[in-house]
Structures are given as C-alpha cells and as structure tokens.
Amino acid sequence: MQVVKYMFQPHGDARGQLVALEEHVDIPFTIRRIYYMYDTAQGVTRGYHAHKSLEQILVCIHGSCKIRLDNGSESKVVPLEKPYEGLYVANNMWREMFDFSPDAVLLVLASELYDESDYIRDYDEFLNFIGKEGTAQ
C-alpha cells in the first residue's frame, strides 16, 4: 500500500509560522468541506469507516495522533506529528484515528460535502465493496 504524505511549505520569521494550502496546488482536489476534531479523550479511536468516493487530507495542526489505513489487503499506521505535514486518504480506504495527544487538533480537508450514503461503516461491507475476501484488520 502506498501512503502519500504531503510536506507543506511553512513560511515564518521571528513572529511565528504560517502554512497556506490551496486546492489543486497543495491539495490534489477541490476542497468542499473542512472540519476538525479536538478534545478527543484518551484511549478513544475515531473513524472506523471508509468512503466510496470522498478523498481527504488529514493534518494534525496541533499535538499528534496516528492514522491506521487499510486497503483490504494491507494495513499501515501513519503518525501525524507536525502541523506542516498532511496525509492523503483516498476513497475506498478504511481509516481509524487514534493515540491522540491531549492537545491534538486534527484538521480534515474533504473533497465532498457530507453525504451519509458515501460512508461504509462496517468492515465486512467495506471488504465486499472493494471486492476483497477475508480481513486485513
């Protein structure tokens, strides 16, 4: 499984740092939705789903967390620890976000508006959707 991590260009001086993200320049899709997670309790895992068509970039803009990506054949854990790195999550990819630091803020840039029918929330249904037998979890 190929994991695509983007290193965004920080701009800064003695006043601090700034990262600017532009669709189709830094982000490989049109950004239709932005949301973020914070105050995630210790030991909590978020996600447990895949999307049929939605693409995302995840950026832990404060603190750190880990992302488990699973394509039905292989599973990888990717740490997000820097506010200038983003993880591309393609459609048809099971994702779980976990091990949030107490100060973590996970920003998500999404290619589509919220659409419940795009979610696959059952792992076996995910495997059926992508045409895989067995589990990689």
The CATH number assigned to the domain holding 55 equals 2.60.120.10
Domain count, the chain: 1
Q: Which amino acid is residue 129, in one-letter code?
A: F
pLDDT score of 133: 55
pLDDT score of 132: 75
Question: Taking the chain, what is the end-to-end CA distance rounded to the nearest angstrom?
Answer: 14
Whole-number Å distance between alpha carbons of 61 and 82: 7
pLDDT score of 135: 47
Residue 136 lies in a domain: no
Instruction: At 131, list the tokens.
Output: 């045409």
pLDDT, tens digit, 9 for 90 and up, residues 102-131: 999 999 999 999 999 999 999 999 999 999
Active-site residues, by number, are 49
Residue 108 lies in a domain: yes
Residues of the chain below pLDDT 70: 133-137
pLDDT score of 115: 97
pLDDT score of 136: 47
Instruction: At 88, list the tokens.
Output: 């591309």
Residue 137 lies in a domain: no
Domain of 40? 4-130
